[in-house]
Amino acid sequence: MPQQHPSPAGEGPPNAASPRAFVSAVAAFAVVMLGTTLPTPLYAIYSDELGFGVATTTVIFAIYAAGVIAALIVFGRWSDVIGRRPLLLAGAAFSVASAVVFITAGPVWQLMIGRVLSGLSAGIYAGAATAAVIELAPDGWRQRAPAIATAANIGGLGLGPLLAGLLAQFAPAPLHLPFAVDLVLLTPVLVGIWLIAEPVEVRSGARLSVQRLSVPSEVRGVFVRAAIAAFAGFAVMGTFTGVTPSFISHILGIDSHAVAGVVVAVLFLSSAVTQIVGRGYPTERALVVGCAILVAGTVILIVGLLAASLTTLVVGAVVCGVGQGLSFSKGLAAVVAASPRDRRAEVTSTYFVVAYVAISIPIVGEGIAASHWGLRTSGVVFNIAVAVLALLALLLTVVAVRRSPRADDAPAAT
């Protein structure tokens, strides 16, 4: 999951930043995000054991997004009021609770509770952990701290299905061991967070409030085209992670949880690498390129679905990951740059909500369609729709760049 844009590094108490605290924050970010994608390659096992189909799988997956959105709205501003450390501890506690629920999971409703808890952990960490990583960075690392936060965030998302897929394939207790390992990883994370110094000054008497969502009129043009691209990119991520393991198992006939985990991980890791490498590219120009790559990636995925080709699906995952990483990060940069300073939090939170709606609603629609049309047909139809959205974002951005020739010379916001 992408990160919000906090205040510049170094604004907290001067003694807070230290190598140990920085490493603790980075590790916490990566491990908590890893936990949110652990179930992805395991859904095929759950569906066999509990007797549900693709539609139920997509609903379970989409409920995660509801938890993220709730956390973004309810807790989005809390770390600025009560400090980063309490929110980091709360997010890690939700992650622990999610892992415990999955270890003991029986009926479908319990899986749903586990996904909601996981979404709450991710939503809290989206803002609080990104801010903490940047604020706790030692002097020599401050310029690289935003990129490191991105690597911990999206990289953790990619490592989750990879770890769970490998454990499910080559180790015993596939529905329990991945979450037991997650709990083991979370233990030093909780200790590390407990020991760090609070990186921001907590003001007494400040009131907690929910994060308001709105887009000022002067930002709407930039926001609309960036949000369309974000919606398309996250829709690809959502359906790819929610449906691809079933497609690999039922259509390709590859009964390997490791393969399913690797293919999903490729998408996330491609996005993470692209966001890091592309940070310095001019915003508008990179947004155009990102949307174009996303269109190409969805076309490749369509070919892979029609041809039932694992190789083509992997190539499509790489290309879609690159397109999603570039279009989303540059869309966010454009929105941040265009927003009034005193309203950036609410505008970026609105942007994230749009993105996570894209993970939830479309994937449920595809799951329902798959139960009537089949996995392949529903996947093709959905990817055509995503390609149209990405193409629309591309056209809107090209028009905006042509109307403002110097817009694409602006550096990316960090």
User: Contact, 346 vs 214, CB < 8 A?
Assistant: yes
Q: Which of 30, 11, 17, 10 is nearest to 196 (CA)?
A: 17
Mean pLDDT in residue range 182-186: 97
pLDDT band, very low/low/confident/very high, at 8 (cuts 50, 70, 90): very low
pLDDT at 2 over 60: no
Q: What is the DSSP string of 177-209?
A: HHHHHHHHHHHHHHHHHHHSPPSSPPPTTPPP-
Give the whole-angstrom CA distance, residue 5 versus residue 319: 26
pTM to 2 decimal places: 0.84
* Separation between Cα atoms, residue 135 and residue 308, nearest integer Å: 47
What pLDDT is attached to residue 307? 92
What are the residue ranges of CATH 1.20.1250.20 in the chain?
1-198, 213-414
Structure tokens at 171: 């180790």
The answer to whether the CB of 158 falls within 8 A of the CB of 269 is: yes
pLDDT band at 206 (very low <50, low <70, confident <90, very high): low
Cα–Cα distance list, 148 to 19, 25, 132, 351, 375 (Å): 13, 11, 12, 22, 37
Could you tell me the fold of the domain covering 213-414?
Growth Hormone; Chain: A; (1.20.1250)
| Interior/surface letters 329-360, b for 16+ CB within 10 angstroms, e for the rest | bbbbbbbbbbbeeeebbbbbbbbbbbbbbbbb
Residue 172 pLDDT exceeds 60: yes
CB atoms within 10 A of CB 253: 8
Tell me the per-residue pLDDT of 112-167, one tens digit each, with 9 for 90 and over. Answer: 999 999 999 999 998 788 888 888 988 878 777 888 888 888 889 899 999 999 99
Cβ pair 346, 293 in contact under 8 A: no
Q: Flag whether pLDDT at 188 surpasses 80.
A: yes
Nearest CA among 259, 232, 255 for reference residue 388: 232
CA pair distance 189, 196, nearest whole angstrom: 11
Exposure class string for 186-208: b at 16+ Cβ within 10 A, else e: beebbebbeebebbbeeeeeeee
Tell me the Cα Rg of the chain.
Answer: 20
CATH H-level superfamily of 1-198: MFS general substrate transporter like domains (1.20.1250.20)
How far is it, in rounded angstroms, from Cα 63 to Cα 113? 9
Which residues, 6 or more positions from 404, have their beta carbon under 8 angstroms from its beta carbon?
A: none
Confidence of residue 404 (pLDDT cuts 50, 70, 90): low
The Cα–Cα gap between 272 and 164 comes to 19
- C-alpha distances (whole Å) from 234 to each of 179, 286, 343 are 25, 18, 24
As given in the structure block, the two tokens for residue 28 are 């916490």
Whether residue 396 contacts residue 228, with contact meaning beta carbons closer than 8 Å, is answered with: yes
Digit-coded pLDDT (tens) for 366-402: 878 888 888 888 888 888 988 898 888 888 888 877 7
